Structure 1
Amino acid sequence: MSETEIFDVVVIGSGAAGAMAALRARDQGLSVLIVEKAHKFGGTSATSGGVMWIPNHNLNNEGDSREQALDYLDSLCKDVKQRDRLEAYVDEAPRMLRYLSSTGVQVIAANWPDYFPDKPGARADRSIICPTFDGRQLGDDRYPLMREQYNRFKLFGRYAMDLTETFALMARSKGWRKTVVNILRRYWLDRGTRKLSHRDRRFTQGAALMGQIYKQLFDRGVELRMDTKLETLRTDSTGSVTGVEVSNYGRAYEIGARHGVVLAAGGFEWNQALRDRFYPVPGLTRHSSTPEDANRGEALIAAEKLGASTEFTEQGWWIPTMTLPMPGASNFHEIHQAAFDVGRPHSVCVNRNGVRFVDEATGYDSFGQAMVDDQLKTGANMPCWLVFDATFRDKFSAGGLMPSIVTPDRKIPSDWWDHYLFRADTLDALAAKIKVPVDALKRTVAKMNDYARTGVDPEFGRGGNIYDQFFGDATVKPNPCLGPIAKAPFYAVPINNGDLGTKGGLRADARARVLDQAGKPIPNLYAAGNCSGNPFGSVYPGAGGTIGPALTFGYVAANDIAVRSGNARAAAE
């Protein structure tokens, strides 16, 4: 192995966890290499909403505290066995955020309720976002190489939108037409960028976060090696990890790591064999909303060969999704998230027995867990059905189906009807089309119409807390999440239990060290992000509950490596 192929730290994966580990390690004076198997960098994080759940961050959430955050998490995280890892997250996440800000990355606290707002210690200010970033600051040769956000996060599949713009258009709130005009104007007046790429130079949401971090990484000279896949972890006679074997277009070679390898390569949601092994209801890889065929669990498999243990692998970061053909290429499909659509007024979700099974406006992870539970109980879920009327159709999206003001029925391709999207003039006819018992569906809709009149859902409490209401329609009274399903025609789309990745993975301790079957650290091996078990167990506490821990334990791993190597610089910052 040549000297040029030895680094202090080798990071596997270029998403939030890997990027943070690399940035912090470099600022601790360590040489770092990031290895990414894809043709583009930024990982799933770059395609995400880019939100970080950070308790007690003190940007403007006066009154939050370590104790309050732990009260909230303790009320939820009943299956967590590593209490010190949970506490490490609460302690280290604010330090990570202060460090991130100190590097020049801009962050903003959002007014976003925790996903369980009725639990003790819940707040509405723990989710952190990043403002829009000019992607061309990465350099004109690099800006097109960051993984691009999905069409579902763009206006008309092309124009970048930040979260404020996205929510304004989703709800058609006051001024939404002006928002559309401004987005189009920005894009087409940027003639210099249009000569380089179709991609919008405005990096928003997850791309804004990752763009800012990679600006710092590239400014520091950190090497990023794409098209390079982890094959195996290398060890010495004592069992310490000494490096990795990787491959690039079939050429295998080794890279040494003097002080540590950080596994940050995402989860295993695109590996059907691992889903079948771990999940009680496996679902299909193609229902995932993460980059297609990207996260296949190579890092988990490599670490298991060294005796690494796992945790929480039966859980995903669930989110309801639906499938539509790709525009202009009907033999190919796109997955569309329906996280907030399933809880809009004038709609209901039912299993294949025509029966409700969840508060549809609940957090998307809780919605997915309810799908799993109902499938195990009834065998009639996954997919379930989102049923809605013409009022809903006019105003709201249903996964990839845009409101009728954007995509009227006459513009929907003929091959979509009765395959991806169902429509009928009566509930009886709709039930017959989707093979749901007619009487059961009509009873369910009749109940929902009663609930819409009273404003109270006695079955599941839909719209009964501030999180539900946050994504409701304020013009609908008395409950913004409940509206009558009464105006023909009636529609239905199948909803699958998709995911934002896997919740479980390699078992790591409070210092992000990978643990073996006996609970002892494997020397020089670390894991962060969805490659590792998350600190919350089966729970998704709030918006950013995936990226927050990914960044935090990437930061923790780098600090631990720096301390062990004698390079620690302000590690307690």
Structure 2
Amino acid sequence: MVESEAMATWDKEVDVLVVGTGAGGLTAAINAADAHGDVLVVEKADEFGGTSATSGGGIWIPASDLARDAGQADSAEEAFAYIRPQSAANVPDGTIKAFVDQAPRMLRWLHAKTPVRYDSVPYPDYHVEYEGGKHGFRTHLPRGIDGRLLGDDILKLRSASPAASLGGIVNWSFTDTNYLLFRHKGWQKVLAKMLWAYASDWKHRLRSRKDRNLTLGNALVGGLWIALRERKVPVWLDTPLVDLVEENGAITGAIVRHEGKTVRVRARRGVILAAGGFERNAEMRAEHLPGSPDPTISGSQVNNTGDAINAAARIGAGLRNMQSTWCAPVFRVPGEDRARLSSIERALPGSMMVNRDGRRFLNEAASYHVVGQKMIEGERSGGKTSPAWFVFDATYRKKYPAGPLFPIVPDALQLKGVRETMKKASSVEGLAAAIGVPADTLKATLARFNADAITGVDTEFDRGGPAYDRMYGDPSVKPNPTLAPIVAAPFYALPIYGGDIGTNGGIVTDENARALDTDGHVIAGLYAIGNTAASVMGESYPGAGVTLGPAMTFGYVAARHAMGVNA
């Protein structure tokens, strides 16, 4: 914290200072500019987009106009009934109600004021069986954007993560992924079209590997960037937040490091912190996530080190649920700077997960948050569940991806790090020896799993029973699209870890995204959104897009509140 009395002068003055260029921060900046605010955006990294750019770009928006047009009946009341019991008890009703009320308005604004376009899709909530759960149309997926519209700014857009692109280079859509995953009729043409579009952009290839076919999180961030640029809002990259400036209990600005100099920025109407969580900060993980202290266990990008959270804490902001993450099972490839989220492969038939004793311990096809939670909790209680082993056979190996291990591509041509971690054997006994588990135990586990796979009923963990499980199952496999026997040699295993895609505990905020102090009082002039703020979802993950949906919604709310715009 820096007291304003020590500040002789301001180096720059604006109405609103936004810290962070993820989807939430860009949404806030555009809204503040539309309210005739003088806005400055600062970004710690030398690229824009944050974790949002590396993500799938999906947003969870209940009762949207798009869902209504698709014939899905929904309401804010149903959404509240669905979220409330899943969210943490320390998250106030008012914050949840603010989200479900404002989210459809944010999406309506997004379509009206930016090039970003979403489609409401039949993607089920993760817990359809709960009151208020829906079988689809709350998750919205972004349409692609032509990256040539960004001009040279494409060079500064953060690339998709290796888990959300082909080889970490070629961008793909969810439709492309589905075609390639299940090899629907014409999949070769889809693949050829993707590769040709990338390779034929030869002039751009001479200066960059970045794909100008923007999809998923790249499409979302790219569209927001275009809208921000149209409003001539300045963005300072490579500009980390150093501290907040406080005067008489209110935040009046911030100190940033820009072009090698300390710059004092006054924010007349507010500072909006949208700088992500702390998942890549080893010291903070050790303090708040003792069961998961290693930053490389995260699939998030490397700049999320909790700078904004710490700055707010120094001026007395309250923190909530710092022990919580967006949990996820992840694969780790030696030499890569982040882990790779496992979202699809666990639900594909012909695979299972076993602990380090060779036993199954969960429903592998559950949401990645639930699976990640169970892996971390199991390891803490002595269950030997992180790392665990992802086990599959030759049939699976030929048909489906297993994290970074691609089908069709021979073992010898896989990435070196993948070859180093993959285990392979001609028999179950040989695989047991390779992964260090008792052979009799692994054989018994497989015997029960295979018997259940034939009947289509998982008698241990009901895999494929809940509606969400079948989302990524293979529809050509009957009677249960998530189950098939593991019988064809050779047998394979990859280590899989209980990790995360980000933290979701942070600064306590109210329904207007205003930061609150440790006594629950508003800190005037300070707002927090996205993973910098304590999530409205508590420690739960109700559906695909509950990270970006609230981040953008509260970015919309924060900017309008700071600029005095009525709802």
TM over 0.5: yes
**Residue in 1 aligned with 2:4?**
none
Write out aligned runs for 1:511-530 (5 A).
511-530=512-531
SS at match of 1:301: helix
Residue 162 of structure 1 pairs with residue 164 of structure 2? no
Write out aligned runs for 1:443-522 (5 A).
443-522=444-523
**Residue in 1 aligned with 2:3?**
none
For residues 375 and 3 of structure 1, the distance between their equivalents in structure 2, rounded to whole angstroms, comes to 51
**Residue in 1 aligned with 2:389?**
385
2:513 alignment partner AA: A
CA contact (8 A) 2:347 2:470 kept: no
Residue 265 of structure 1 pairs with residue 259 of structure 2? no
SS at match of 1:541: coil
For residues 195 and 404 of structure 2, the distance between their equivalents in structure 1, rounded to whole angstroms, comes to 20
For residues 19 and 458 of structure 1, the distance between their equivalents in structure 2, rounded to whole angstroms, comes to 47
| Residue 83 (structure 1) shift | 0.9
| Residue 280 (structure 1) shift | 4.8
Residue 313 of structure 1 pairs with residue 288 of structure 2? no
1:34 alignment partner AA: V
Task: Assess, with a 3 A threshold, how the Cα gap between structure 1 residues 340 and 445 changes in structure 2: closer, same or farther.
Answer: same
| Residue 437 (structure 1) shift | 2.1
| Residue 385 (structure 1) shift | 0.9
TM-superposition CA deviations, 1:466-512 (whole Å, max 9, x none): 21111001121111101101111111111112222111111111110
Instruction: Give the CA RMSD over aligned residues.
Output: 1.7
For residues 416 and 94 of structure 2, the distance between their equivalents in structure 1, rounded to whole angstroms, comes to 56
CA contact (8 A) 1:340 1:364 kept: no
Write out aligned runs for 1:546-565 (5 A).
546-563=547-564
CA contact (8 A) 2:360 2:445 kept: yes
| Residue 17 (structure 1) shift | 1.2
**Residue in 2 aligned with 1:24?**
31
CA contact (8 A) 1:385 1:494 kept: yes
**Residue in 2 aligned with 1:364?**
368
For residues 337 and 415 of structure 1, the distance between their equivalents in structure 2, rounded to whole angstroms, comes to 16
Residue 277 of structure 1 pairs with residue 278 of structure 2? no
Which residue among 97, 100, 103 is the counterpart of 2:113? 103
1:35 alignment partner AA: V
**Residue in 1 aligned with 2:57?**
50
SS at match of 2:555: helix
CA contact (8 A) 2:359 2:441 kept: yes
Task: Assess, with a 3 A threshold, how the Cα gap between structure 1 residues 413 and 254 changes in structure 2: closer, same or farther.
Answer: closer
TM-superposition CA deviations, 1:36-56 (whole Å, max 9, x none): 010100111011000000000
The runs of 4+ residues in structure 1 deviating greater than 4 Å are 1-4, 413-417
2:449 alignment partner AA: M
**Residue in 1 aligned with 2:333?**
324
| Residue 253 (structure 1) shift | 2.0
**Residue in 1 aligned with 2:380?**
376
Task: Assess, with a 3 A threshold, how the Cα gap between structure 1 residues 549 and 141 changes in structure 2: closer, same or farther.
Answer: same
2:147 alignment partner AA: G
For residues 162 and 86 of structure 2, the distance between their equivalents in structure 1, rounded to whole angstroms, comes to 34
Residue 171 of structure 1 pairs with residue 173 of structure 2? no
For residues 252 and 9 of structure 2, the distance between their equivalents in structure 1, rounded to whole angstroms, comes to 14
| Residue 413 (structure 1) shift | 6.3
| Residue 157 (structure 1) shift | 3.5
**Residue in 1 aligned with 2:91?**
81
TM-score, normalised to structure 2's length?
A: 0.95
SS at match of 1:11: strand
| Residue 81 (structure 1) shift | 3.2
| Residue 102 (structure 1) shift | 1.0
- Aligned residue pairs, count: 555
Task: Assess, with a 3 A threshold, how the Cα gap between structure 1 residues 2 and 143 changes in structure 2: closer, same or farther.
Answer: farther
CA contact (8 A) 2:67 2:138 kept: no
CA contact (8 A) 1:269 1:502 kept: yes
2:216 alignment partner AA: Q
**Residue in 2 aligned with 1:151?**
162
1:464 alignment partner AA: G
CA contact (8 A) 2:329 2:375 kept: no
Residue 436 of structure 1 pairs with residue 437 of structure 2? yes
Question: Percent same amino acid at aligned positions?
Answer: 41
**Residue in 2 aligned with 1:351?**
355
1:108 alignment partner AA: D
| Residue 190 (structure 1) shift | 3.0
For residues 333 and 295 of structure 1, the distance between their equivalents in structure 2, rounded to whole angstroms, comes to 13
For residues 264 and 412 of structure 2, the distance between their equivalents in structure 1, rounded to whole angstroms, comes to 57
CA contact (8 A) 1:368 1:497 kept: yes
| Residue 75 (structure 1) shift | 4.0
Write out aligned runs for 1:107-126 (5 A).
107-123=118-134, 124-126=136-138
Residue 303 of structure 1 pairs with residue 312 of structure 2? yes
Note the residue ranges of structure 2 that are not aligned, 5 or more in a row: 1-7
SS at match of 1:142: helix
Task: Assess, with a 3 A threshold, how the Cα gap between structure 1 residues 333 and 280 changes in structure 2: closer, same or farther.
Answer: closer
| Residue 178 (structure 1) shift | 1.1
**Residue in 2 aligned with 1:134?**
146
TM-superposition CA deviations, 1:302-339 (whole Å, max 9, x none): 1111111111211111121112245xxxxx56632222
CA contact (8 A) 1:79 1:538 kept: no
| Residue 167 (structure 1) shift | 2.4
| Comparing 540-549 and 158-167, the one that deviates more | 158-167
For residues 13 and 344 of structure 1, the distance between their equivalents in structure 2, rounded to whole angstroms, comes to 37
Task: Assess, with a 3 A threshold, how the Cα gap between structure 1 residues 459 and 28 changes in structure 2: closer, same or farther.
Answer: same
| Residue 175 (structure 1) shift | 2.0
**Residue in 1 aligned with 2:232?**
221
Task: Assess, with a 3 A threshold, how the Cα gap between structure 1 residues 289 and 60 changes in structure 2: closer, same or farther.
Answer: same
CA contact (8 A) 1:75 1:119 kept: no
1:94 alignment partner AA: P
CA contact (8 A) 2:67 2:73 kept: no
| Comparing 337-346 and 363-372, the one that deviates more | 337-346
For residues 115 and 212 of structure 1, the distance between their equivalents in structure 2, rounded to whole angstroms, comes to 28
